[in-house]
Amino acid sequence: MLFDKLNLLFLATVAASVAYCLAVPGAFFVQVILWATLAATLGAGIRFVMLVGELNIGTSAFYGIGGYTAAYLTTAYGLPFGVALVAAGIAGGLVAAVFGYATMRTSGAYFMLISFAFAEIFRMLVVESDFLGGNNGIIGLFVSVEYEPYFAATVVAILATLISALAVIENSSLGKSFIAIREREEIARSVGINVLAIRVLCLVISSVVIAVAGACSGFITHLVTPNDYTFMIAVFALAYVKLGGEEHPTGPILGAILLTLAAQYLISFGAYQQVFFGTVIAVAMILLPQGITGRLRDLVRLTAKRTARDAG
Amino acid sequence: MSTFIQLLINTLQIGAIYVLFSLGLTLVFGVMRLINFAHGEFFALTAILIAMQMGWLLPDAPFWLQYVVSFATALGVLMALSVVIYQFGLSRFLGDLSSGFIFSLGLVLMMRGLIGQIFGNYPMTAPPLVEGAIYVLGGAISTQKLLVAVLALIATGGLLYLVFRTKLGMALRAIAEDQEAAMLQGIRYKRLALYGFLIGSSLAAIAGGLIAPLQVVLPTMGGELIMKAFMIVIIGGLGSIPGAIVASFLIAALESFGSYFIDLPVVTIGVFVMVAVLLVIRPQGLLGHVVR
Amino acid sequence: MPAETQPLFAAEGITKRFGGLVAVSDVSFEISRGEILGLIGPNGAGKSTIFNLISGFYRVTRGRTVFQGQDVSSLPIWKLARIGLARTFQHDSLLKGMTVRDNILVATTQFIRNPAEREKRMSETIDIMGLGEVLDEKASNLPHGHQRILSIAIAFSGRPALLCLDEPLTGFNQTEVLGGLDIIRRLREEFATTVLIVEHNMRAVMSLCDRILVLHHGKLLGSGSPEEVQNDPAIIEAYLGKSE
Ligand SMILES: Nc1ncnc2c1ncn2[C@@H]1O[C@H](COP(=O)(O)OP(=O)(O)O)[C@@H](O)[C@H]1O
Ligand SMILES: [Mg+2]
């Protein structure tokens, strides 16, 4: 009931953002919308792997794979934006399949650690690769001039569609299989689920979406560097999920919007921004273990119970 | 031959630091069933505190005395900090891997930001404790490195004694063996977990203190080390003490021999690939049991 | 051997060792098509271990398991499930955080991809098991009886040829036991399901099963019809006589 309203709120927010981006394409707030959209996609993507019970710190690497694939293809071969996005998604998915095949046999702490290592290794690989510009990265991701006014609106629309697709999959029988694996792997196996394959599939789907978002991030800043894709990306993504609440797909979106807006305000704090984010994460974990949406749901239930009791 | 000896001593010294650090990480995991990402920050903060105090705290005393005193105060600060972090934070997440990890990530951001603001994000150095070199089988070995390796091995020995020969150690191992039974003990468990956490954190701090006079001290050095420690505990098996020791020296050997013949980043990437292949064959690590 | 006379399942000298402990020792038996076979024995006899060997959760130390003429000793669990070998669990046999409907959906979806057909199959399962009233309840909120029935429903969703039930009636009252037995009998009559059942309720086992295997300290002590088993002095000595 509450969650249905949250879904509507999500659609309304997306529609309003797209409209705003089309109406005033050059406005500063369009940038904020874009950042929030990227953040929301990261949150939704990392939460998707949490459906099978894993924390994928490697999310930042898949974001980077998307960014670098798009950057390389557009600068070296002059491919257009749309093709770059598709290629980024494919690259993210392929790497996720290989990485997942090796690592999704582990779970819990082991997966978390190896995915963290993967995030760091990705960064090191990029720094060591001359054709990817090493520490300087790659500059020059642009969309064509006549397309520029529609760019922001397109990005919001594409990523919102992908976020919705993740939610649709979550509600499908495939999504229930993910959750079944998290709930009790033995039962999932005993009813014919090839647990490794399904877990890898979950990682692949998430990584495709994350990589497309990474490609978009490159086009937004026109530049990709190793420092744009450190494991901090995954940390922030987790912060969106934890603050917003992980139970419902709109949770990380809410968290992403709130923290992106807060970050805009906090830019004036300079270096203390990091401290602020750290504090938000730590304090949210203590005070809001279920996140904002979880807290809201509890409140709604409580009120409903009270009204029922007062009436009866 | 002399190169070989040098690389071997190098392995010993790096490995000894890795052992201390990753034993701390794996001990905290065994007792609390969570991974404390801020472990690396504890390491870095101790080194920074020592580098900062030396030459300032007792400017006229000999270096070794300055070192001992700053080491002691830094360790004290770290212990106090650990108690606060445990009481107000981590103790709420005992046995809750994902929440505990995310909370500790929050801590990392806070600590990194604050360390940068307070001490500045530039490299510091502590003066060397002893100068000179010792010659073994034709190879020159920095006395300082040897000293640090020996101190680290002594600290490791102390930990092993604590864990395997004392009552407290026995209680901690019992917790690590059977987490669920331990949880049922309530208050007693929480207190023991605090001791386990303090021991684990102090190992990170000791490692940081030992590294301070050896290399340039940087606020980011905790982040680099913790990734290696992650590889180490994956190879050795989470919660496994012998596993952590063996894997530490394995990684140290690969690094010091590897970086002599090839590039260090290539070695690090190679180690990652090796770990990934290992996971396909043995998802629970080389020496570990299945932990979920 | 022609398919009709060939047993549905055969355990051939299966042995399972855990370190020094031999939990199952050189056990051989066959299950014919359409049979309801009981497996009894005191706690720790190795019954659940045999289930785990049959369903692929453990690997045999020695011997082999044969299902529909095929050696299945080394097939992964999910493949065994897909070729028609299903089992329930003695403990924690549900997806507790999910609704009853989602439990059955997850169990059905691996076998039927088409949503409309899947829906039909699910309603059939729900009808037989009598879970229609509690579909939207979270499994963990169900009363115990419903929980055990749901675990049978999960295993039966794929319409297995061989259904292995590990103590399905534990904690049931008299009426619930009768209801449970009725469901199991219907599975055989309406779906030709072959059943292997471990159960401590002796009266239930004796009335339900065509044949009974008695396990003791990991070894097969004997087998036969309920009457034969009840009158075998060695079995009475080892098991029936001592308990209750
Ligand atoms: N995974 C295991 N590891 C070690 N021992 C086990 C394992 N599973 C079962 N056992 C042992 O095997 C014996 C048989 O157990 P089980 O098959 O559960 O008996 P039953 O189901 O007949 O009560 C017991 O002694 C039990 O402790
Ligand atoms: Mg049993």
pLDDT in tens, B146-198: 888 889 999 999 999 999 999 998 888 888 887 777 777 777 888 889 999 99
Nearest to C154 among A174, A176, A191 (CB): A191
In this prediction, residue B225 carries a pLDDT of 92
- Ligand 1 touching residue C49 (CB < 6 A): yes
Q: Which residue of C has its CA nearest to A191?
A: C107
Cross-chain Cβ contact A192/C155 below 8 Å:
no
Measured in angstroms, the CA of A34 and the nearest CA of chain C are apart by: 36
- Is the pLDDT reported for residue B292 higher than 60? no
The most confident of the ranges A292-296, B88-92, B276-280, C80-84 is C80-84
Amino acid (one-letter) located at C169? L
> Which chains are within 8 Å of A by 3+ CB pairs?
B, C
| pLDDT confidence band for B290 (50 / 70 / 90) | very low
The most confident of the ranges B48-52, B273-277, C205-209 is C205-209
- Cβ contacts (< 8 Å) between A278 and chain B: which residues? 105-113
> Which chains are within 8 Å of B by 3+ CB pairs?
A
Q: What is the ipTM score, two decimals?
A: 0.91
Mean pLDDT of B227-245: 89
What mean pLDDT is reported for chain C? 93
- For residue A188, report the distance from its CA to the centre of ligand 2, in Å: 20
Mean pLDDT of B74-81: 96
In this prediction, residue C240 carries a pLDDT of 57
Between C5 and B97, name the one with better pLDDT. B97
Burial class (CB in 10 A: 0-12, 13-18, 19+), A53: buried
- Ligand 1 touching residue C180 (CB < 6 A): no
In this prediction, residue B216 carries a pLDDT of 87
What topology does CATH give the domain C1-81+194-244? Rossmann fold (3.40.50)
- Is the pLDDT reported for residue B212 higher than 70? yes
- Residue with tokens 């050997």, as numbered in its chain: B253
Between B40 and A290, name the one with better pLDDT. B40
Q: Among the residues of chain A, which ranges form H helices?
A: 2-23, 28-50, 59-77, 81-103, 109-128, 148-171, 173-183, 185-190, 195-221, 232-244, 250-266, 272-287, 291-311
Q: What is the C-alpha to C-alpha distance for residues A90 and A208, in angstroms, rounded to an integer?
A: 7
Q: What is the C-alpha to C-alpha distance for residues C111 and C123, in angstroms, rounded to an integer?
A: 15
| pLDDT confidence band for B291 (50 / 70 / 90) | very low
- Ligand 1 touching residue C59 (CB < 6 A): no
Q: How far is CA C151 from the centre of its chain?
A: 11
pTM: 0.91
Contact B128, B139 (CB under 8 A): no
Which stretches of chain C score pLDDT less than 70? Answer: 1-4, 239-244
Contact residues, B window 13-72, toward A, CB-based 8 Å cutoff = 29, 35
In this prediction, residue C65 carries a pLDDT of 97
- Ligand 1 touching residue C56 (CB < 6 A): no
Which stretches of chain A score pLDDT less than 70? Answer: 1, 270, 312
In this prediction, residue C161 carries a pLDDT of 97
In this prediction, residue C244 carries a pLDDT of 41
Mean pLDDT of B71-78: 95
- Ligand 1 touching residue C27 (CB < 6 A): no
Q: Which residue of A has its CA nearest to C108?
A: A191
Residue nearest to atom 25 of ligand 1 (CA): C44
- For residue B255, report the distance from its CA to the centre of ligand 2, in Å: 50
Listed residues: CB within 5 A of ion ligand 2: C 48, 90
**Residue closest to B118 by CA, chosen among B57, B214, B223, B48:** B48
Q: What is the C-alpha to C-alpha distance for residues A286 and B89, in angstroms, rounded to an integer?
A: 7
Cross-chain Cβ contact A113/B234 below 8 Å:
yes
> Which chains are within 8 Å of C by 3+ CB pairs?
A
Report yes or no on chains B and C touching (3+ CB pairs under 8 A): no
Say which CATH architecture domain A2-311 belongs to: Orthogonal Bundle (1.10)
Q: Which residue of A has its CA nearest to B107?
A: A278
Indicate which ligand has the atom closest to the C-alpha of C25: 1
